A = this chain, B = another copy of it.
Amino acid sequence: MQFADRLITAIRRVGNSVLVGIDPRPEDLPEGFLDRFPPDRAGVARALEEFGRDVVDVVAPMVPAVKFQAAFYEAYGPEGVAALHATAHHAKEQGLIVLIDGKRNDIGSTAEAYARAYLGKVPVGGRYEASWHADALTVNPYLGSDGIAPFVKVAARENKGLFVLVRTSNPSAGDFQDLVADGRPIYRHVAERLAQWAAPQRGESGYSLVGAVVGATYPQQLAELRAALPGVLFLVPGYGTQGGSAQDVAGAFEADGLGAIINSSRGLTFAYQRPAYRQKFGDDWRGAIAQAVRDMIEDLAENTPAGRLRVDNPA
């Protein structure tokens, strides 16, 4: 099944569009967690893997998808990257759709190598084999169309997806994205190209395997881009810790409650650090994470069109 169709099927199954971001920082792991592992790089990497597996097990029945931030794994070298691989594999086994947030970008055969790495297959001993098994990858558009085409080609062949950065959620996002050329900002130019890349790749749901990353911290631009990009799934970072509210992300959804997945990372996976959850759950950090996910689902259901997705028997 085409990537967007798969994602939407998963969203409808659980009745929400929450994308749990797994950004494991060793310093934020639950108290005593790291102490169970050898105090070396391989030990820290194993701790990241273990924590990620635990988070996956908590959230797998509740949400459609998880997003792994590659940087926090790459920080621990090859051992860290192996932990990402193992955790992502575990997430897939638990039935989750797996996004890798790597913001990869390059040209020609190098872009194709990234695409085959994360979304496709590579030649091994006369056959083709998947290395990463991710369902989708985030991609940076600065290099233009021929930096995107190899990702689209591989994703289309393999029923995978990509999310292209359009408008990011950080304070200086506008340094270049907001510069105005031909009467409209650069991020709108990126959106226009994205519409071209996306159009030939629609599934039965009407949505393309080419999605867009649009931050929650600029609600007006979010709504404006939603209108400009029908049939394009939005990956929306910035909810929660970065300051975006459910009202802020509401504009990412179409009226039927589809069209977007809303990411929260630290706010969910490190919920046990937040006083309200700490008070209620104490050392039960898994309970705190589950409650934070439920709270986010509820918040989006009440304050955005995503409420239309609610199912009668959520897992």
Contacts of A165 in B (CB 8 A): 142-143
Q: Which residue of B lies closest to A28 (CB)?
A: B109
CA distance A245 to B69 in the complex (A): 39
Q: Which of B40, B80, B132, B145 contacts A175 (CB 8 A)?
A: B145
Q: Is A16 interfacial (CB 8 A cutoff)?
A: no
- How many Å from the CB of A250 to the closest CB on chain B? 23
Contacts of A103 in B (CB 8 A): 104-106, 140
How many residues on A have C-beta within 8 angstroms of the other chain's C-beta atoms? 72
CA distance A116 to B80 in the complex (A): 13
CA distance A82 to B79 in the complex (A): 8
The oligomer's copy count stands at 2
Contacts of A10 in B (CB 8 A): none
CA distance A71 to B84 in the complex (A): 16
Q: Is A43 interfacial (CB 8 A cutoff)?
A: yes
Q: Which residue of B lies closest to A23 (CB)?
A: B110
Q: Is A58 interfacial (CB 8 A cutoff)?
A: no
Q: Which residue of B lies closest to A168 (CB)?
A: B143
The answer to whether B113 and A173 have CB atoms under 8 Å apart is no
- How many Å from the CB of A48 to the closest CB on chain B? 11
The answer to whether B175 and A179 have CB atoms under 8 Å apart is no
* Chain A 109-135 interface 0/1 with B at a Cβ cutoff of 8 Å (1 = within): 111011011100011111001011000
- How many Å from the CB of A271 to the closest CB on chain B? 17
CA distance A115 to B105 in the complex (A): 17
Q: Which of A180-188, A287-295, A299-307 contacts B (4 or more CB under 8 A)?
A: A180-188
CA distance A72 to B114 in the complex (A): 7
Q: Is A147 interfacial (CB 8 A cutoff)?
A: yes
The answer to whether A72 and B172 have CB atoms under 8 Å apart is no
Q: Is A314 interfacial (CB 8 A cutoff)?
A: no
Q: Is A75 interfacial (CB 8 A cutoff)?
A: yes
Contacts of A122 in B (CB 8 A): 26, 41, 44, 75-76
* Chain A 70-100 interface 0/1 with B at a Cβ cutoff of 8 Å (1 = within): 0110111110111011000000000000000
Contacts of A85 in B (CB 8 A): 77-78
Q: Which 5 A-B pairs have the closest CB atoms?
A: A39-B125, A144-B175, A144-B172, A77-B131, A179-B181
Binding site for B on A (CB under 8 A): 23, 25-27, 38-41, 43-44, 69, 71-72, 74-78, 80-82, 84-85, 103-111, 113-114, 116-118, 122-126, 129, 131-132, 140-147, 165, 168-177, 179-182, 186, 189-190, 193
